[in-house]
Amino acid sequence: MPEKLPKDRGDQLIISFLSIRKAIGILGIALPFALLFGSFVIDKCDQIQGSISAYYYTEVRNIFVGILSAVSFYLFSYNGYDKNDRILSALCGLASLGVAFLPTSVEEPLSNCVTILVKDSYISYLHFFSAAAFFLLSAYVSIFLFTKGSPNPTPQKLKRNKVYKCCGYIMIVCILSIFLYTIILKKAYPFLIECKPIFWLESIALWAYGSSWLVKGEGLLVDD
């Protein structure tokens, strides 16, 4: 029979558990804002880049890599409830590292804020695969794992489940929209490039991702 933890020790573990979830959520929500405002403050760049990943080539690349690395660290530290939680969290953490350290390709015209440029199609493909895997796995976790619970959920739990599912579906829609834009709409409607659709779709997906984890960490819709 497993050893029962003292109450104080158990409470500390629960607080730590919830803190990890909140940290993941806050970092996900903060990333687009940190890149936008960091780029403006650090190198006075008032141009929005074509994608979140394109900020790797600007002066705020350390913020980009640092936040994604922190998300990865927390995901690797997150044990969840069972083996599936641990495996999926580790895979998401690995995908996050892939997004951070396998830079995307940046096409012409280049922004004035770009300070370095690395063009490697193979690395770029790995980057896209990592980004897609990160959001799709995160969507699965949000829709199917976060919604698990007792047979008699509380009213707040039912509300949280709706948030988890909504966030998961938003991530899926954003990824599919990016794919549709890249394959079809970008060539058919070149004027859309000026609207930075990939940046905004990625930002929305990150906000959904962060919101799901923040709610899971009992930052919102907490049981009485």
Q: Tens digits of per-residue pLDDT, 170-202?
A: 999 999 999 999 999 999 999 998 999 999 999
DSSP states of 5-34: PPHHHHHHHHHHHHHHHHHHHHHHHHHHHH
Q: Give the global pTM.
A: 0.90
79-83: Cβ within 8 A, 24+ apart: 80/145, 81/148
pLDDT at 219: 78
Residues 6+ away with beta carbon under 8 Å from 221: 156, 159, 160, 163, 215
Q: What angle (nearest 5°) sits at the alpha carbon of residue 117, between those of residues 115 and 123?
A: 145
Q: What is the mean pLDDT of residues 155-184?
A: 96
Any idea which residue has 């996050």 for tokens? Answer: 96
pLDDT at 62: 95
Category of 218 on φ-ψ map: left (φ > 0), alpha (ψ -120 to 50) or beta? left
pLDDT at 96: 97
Q: What is the mean pLDDT of residues 92-110?
A: 88
Measure Cα distances from 95 to 91, 92, 202 in Å. Answer: 6, 5, 15
Residue 166 lies in a domain: yes
Q: What angle (nearest 5°) sits at the alpha carbon of residue 34, between those of residues 141 and 78?
A: 30
Structural tokens at position 56 = 């790797």
Residue 182 lies in a domain: yes
Residue type for position 38: G
Residue 72 lies in a domain: yes
Residue 224 lies in a domain: no
Structural domain boundaries enclosing 142: 7-216
Q: What angle (nearest 5°) sits at the alpha carbon of residue 137, between those of residues 134 and 139?
A: 105
- Average pLDDT of the chain to the nearest whole number: 88
Q: How far is CA 48 from the centre of its chain?
A: 19
CB-CB contact of 9 with 17 (8 Å): no
Residue 136 lies in a domain: yes
Confidence at 109, pLDDT banded by 50, 70, 90: low
Terminal-residue alpha carbon distance, the chain = 32
Q: What is the mean pLDDT of residues 98-126?
A: 83
pLDDT at 35: 96
Q: What angle (nearest 5°) sits at the alpha carbon of residue 178, between those of residues 90 and 107?
A: 100
Residue 121 lies in a domain: yes
pLDDT at 10: 46
Domain total in the chain: 1
Residue 73 lies in a domain: yes
